[in-house]
């Protein structure tokens, strides 16, 4: 049993005046694995003050100095990658071999990508009679989700360090352990006191305290749309900058001439990754009507090869959902799909065979889905795929864009030029073409109600920067 009875504030482990604790549960065993202190507003005030004090000196360091810390951080995390993968797997439920690649090695590549951006803060630009300089925005509140606990944390911390900002991190209640792990590493590598602070606790109290605090200059939030709206409202009174990555309901368009088997298998693998608990998950698959039944057959076959099991088993492709609440939410959506008349192809209600313990859900596929159905419009955050037919490519694009979200999307076509033409018409922040890989040097973020601002790449750095023009 892991016990974190103190918070990481001003480079040290400090006690809270709170006497409340939260329990972290292993979703595969349903057993408690950690007890974590729940902070309060007094803790937030102390953390903000520490960050504010540290900002004076930290923001004046050179880009080379900050790049050094990022380099060492990436090295230390790599040295302990297996330990960290096990920790995330235990709190989240993702199979360990997948957690190593996706939840740990991916974020480390994200850190490395920012090493070369830190020096940009030292650059200035002459525009007419003006000198344009970049300055760190200040004290940043970083509010992180549970589905990719380290990945989303690094997506905020790395650019903040590169820019010269100081920060207060509020990890999720469900999966806070990797944040504490990261704090231990940062203390070990000598990151100056106050640059990174960790305050755990319920979002309603800690998140609100951070968003309304007069000395917090910027809020970066990843989470649900409902909470995102609350964050915007709370931060608005002090006119803070707010960068948000929210929900998604992304569509994969498979064209008439595409390699149907490869494209459908890609789509099924994508939605089932991390048990569907991914904001960019391709939860809608759009198929030409002439290939519709063939695509359904391929999807069913692929889904039924997915091994659902213990995160400790190297044969497992998919683990449990993060919590009993999340499990019930996904089951409710599956029931809603059935009630609204969608055809259940595979999966469905109940637990996978042989898994009586753990928050498991079947890999589920629906066909004959109309885009107006609940399962086609709302973010389910589970392993549930809706397959929708279309008559021509214009209709496919219209269906893909018929959503309040615009976070991601994908196109699979025989002709790359055609795929790019289609991708340009999809209203989302990123589009994957023919199974291309995620790029940590490219901006990531959403259109519409999927958020504002960008993470990763140089655009991600800009969220933590103020621009000053000096007329001379």
The domain locations on the chain are 2-246+450-471, 251-439
221-265 pLDDT tens trace: 999 999 999 999 999 999 999 999 999 999 999 999 999 999 999
Q: What is the mean pLDDT of residues 305-327?
A: 98
Residue 70's pLDDT is: 98
Q: Report residue 412 CA to chain centroid gap.
A: 24
Rounded to whole angstroms, how far apart are CA atoms 453 and 438? 18
Q: How confident is the model at residue 37 (pLDDT cuts 50, 70, 90)?
A: very high
Mean pLDDT of 131-143: 98
Q: What is the pLDDT of residue 184?
A: 97
CA distance 49 to 170: 16
Q: What is the pLDDT of residues 278-303, one digit of tens each?
A: 999 999 999 999 999 999 999 999 99
pLDDT band at 149 (very low <50, low <70, confident <90, very high): very high
Strand partners, 12: 9
pLDDT score recorded for residue 58: 99
| pLDDT mean across residues, the chain | 98
**What is the CATH architecture of 251-439?**
3-Layer(aba) Sandwich (3.40)
Q: Are strands 384-390 and 405-406 parallel, antiparallel or unpaired?
A: unpaired
Q: What percent of the chain has pLDDT over 90?
A: 100
Q: Distance between CA 455 and CA 243 in Å, rounded?
A: 9
- C-alpha angle with apex 337: 334 to 340, nearest 5 degrees? 150
- Mean of pLDDT values over 27-31: 99
Torsion of Cα atoms, 394 then 404 then 171 then 136, to 10°: 80
Q: In sequence order, what are the residues at sequence separation of 6 or more whose Cβ sits closer than 8 angstroms to the Cβ of residue 49? A: 215
Q: What is the pLDDT of residue 263?
A: 99
Residue 210: band (very low, low, confident or very high) from pLDDT cuts 50, 70, 90: very high
Alpha carbon 385 to chain centroid distance? 20
User: What's the average model confidence in pLDDT over 299-325?
Assistant: 98
DSSP-derived secondary structure letter, 249: -
Q: Distance between CA 33 and CA 312 in Å, rounded?
A: 15
Equal CATH topology for 2-246+450-471 and 251-439: no
CATH number of 2-246+450-471: 3.40.605.10
The band of 323, judged by pLDDT with boundaries at 50, 70 and 90, is very high
- The three-state (H, E, C) secondary structure of 208-232, written as one string: HHHHHCCCCCEEEEECCHHHHHHHH
Residues labelled catalytic:
245, 279
- Bridging pattern class, strands 130-136 and 124-127: antiparallel
- Across the range 322-339, mean pLDDT stands at 99
Mean pLDDT of all residues in 42-59: 99
């Amino acid at each position: 049993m892991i016990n974190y009875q103190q918070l990481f504030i001003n480079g040290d482990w400090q006690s809270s005046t709170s006497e409340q604790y939260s329990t972290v549960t292993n979703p595969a065993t349903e057993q408690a694995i950690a007890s974590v202190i729940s902070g309060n507003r007094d803790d937030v005030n102390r953390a903000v003050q520490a960050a504010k004090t540290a900002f004076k000196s930290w923001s004046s360091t050179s880009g080379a100095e900050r790049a050094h810390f990022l380099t060492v951080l990436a090295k230390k995390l790599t040295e302990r990658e297996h330990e960290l993968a096990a920790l995330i797997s235990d709190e989240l439920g993702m199979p360990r071999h997948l957690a190593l690649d996706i939840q740990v090695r991916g974020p480390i590549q994200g850190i490395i990508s920012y090493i070369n951006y830190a020096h940009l803060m030292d650059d200035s630009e002459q525009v007419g009679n003006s000198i344009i300089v970049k300055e760190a925005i200040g004290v940043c509140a970083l509010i992180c989700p549970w589905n990719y606990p380290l990945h989303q944390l690094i997506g905020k911390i790395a650019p903040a360090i590169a820019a010269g900002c100081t920060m207060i991190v509020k990890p999720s209640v469900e999966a806070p352990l990797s944040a504490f792990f990261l704090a231990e590493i940062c203390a070990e590598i000598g990151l100056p006191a106050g640059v990174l602070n960790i305050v755990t606790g319920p979002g309603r109290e800690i998140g609100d305290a951070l968003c309304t605090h007069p000395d917090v200059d910027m809020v970066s939030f990843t989470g649900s749309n409902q909470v995102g709206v609350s964050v915007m409202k709370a931060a608005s009174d002090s006119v803070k900058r707010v960068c948000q990555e929210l929900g998604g309901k992304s569509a994969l368009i498979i064209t008439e001439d595409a390699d149907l088997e490869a494209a459908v298998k890609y789509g099924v693998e994508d939605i089932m990754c991390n048990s569907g608990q991914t904001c960019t998950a391709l939860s809608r698959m759009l198929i030409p009507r002439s290939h519709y039944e063939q695509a359904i057959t391929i999807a069913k076959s692929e889904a039924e090869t997915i091994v659902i099991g213990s995160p400790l088993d190297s044969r497992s492709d998919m683990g449990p959902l993060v919590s009993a609440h999340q499990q019930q939410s996904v089951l409710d959506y599956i029931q809603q799909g059935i009630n609204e008349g969608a055809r259940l192809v595979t999966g469905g209600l109940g637990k996978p065979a042989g898994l009586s313990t753990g928050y498991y859900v079947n890999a589920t596929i629906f066909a004959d889905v109309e885009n107006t159905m609940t399962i086609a419009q709302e973010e389910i955050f589970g392993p549930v795929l809706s397959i929708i037919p279309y008559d021509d490519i214009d209709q496919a694009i219209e269906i893909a864009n018929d959503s309040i979200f615009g976070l991601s999307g994908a196109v699979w076509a025989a002709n790359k030029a055609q795929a790019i033409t289609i991708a340009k018409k999809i209203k989302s922040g990123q589009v994957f073409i023919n199974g291309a890989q995620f790029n940590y040097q490219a901006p990531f973020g959403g259109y519409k109600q999927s958020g504002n601002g960008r993470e990763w790449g140089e655009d991600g750095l800009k969220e933590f920067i103020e621009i000053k023009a000096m007329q001379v």
